[in-house]
Structure formats: structure tokens, C-alpha cells
Amino acid sequence: MSRQRARTQQSIKAETEISVNYRIPNPLESLEQAQKFDHQDLLDLDTLDLWREGRRVETALAFHDRNWLIERLAAVRREQRERERGRCR
């Protein structure tokens, strides 16, 4: 068997399953959930976690068109812009 074919077979075996699970917070469940529902938690995220949250929301929006997800993505982008302008955490 050629090396190229062996590599191809190995890459086929190494497939990764990706699932998308993004839970919209229930503001009545807890204080943390209420803060996330109102996007107040974004201030506590570092720059990398804020970026990751944006990607998670974008991915969730690809599968579910929910108003809260649209609001969440706008809030993440707004926070990113504010940080770029100099208000960093």
C-alpha cells in the first residue's frame, strides 16, 4: 500500500463528530442565568472567551434563528468594539 493511500485511510478513520448545543439562558433559573440573558456576563469574559462566545453564538444561529441569539451576537460584537477602542479587561 502506498504511503499516500495509508495517510488517506488514517485521516478517514480520524473523523471528528461535532455537535452544537447552545442553551439559551432562563433568567428565572438563577442570578447567573439572568445576567447571561441580559448579556451582563460579557464584561467578565477575557478577550479569548469573548471571541469564543461570539463563535458559539454564530454557530447556533446557523441552526436556530432565535431573536435572543441575534441580540447576543450584537452584544458580543459591541463589547469587542469597545475593547478595541481601549476599554480592555
What is the residue-level pLDDT of the chain in tens, covering all 89 positions? 577 776 666 665 666 676 778 899 999 999 999 999 999 999 999 999 999 999 999 999 998 888 999 999 999 999 999 999 986 55
* pTM, to two decimals: 0.72
Residue 10 φ/ψ, nearest 5 degrees: -65, -40
50 grid coordinates: 469573548
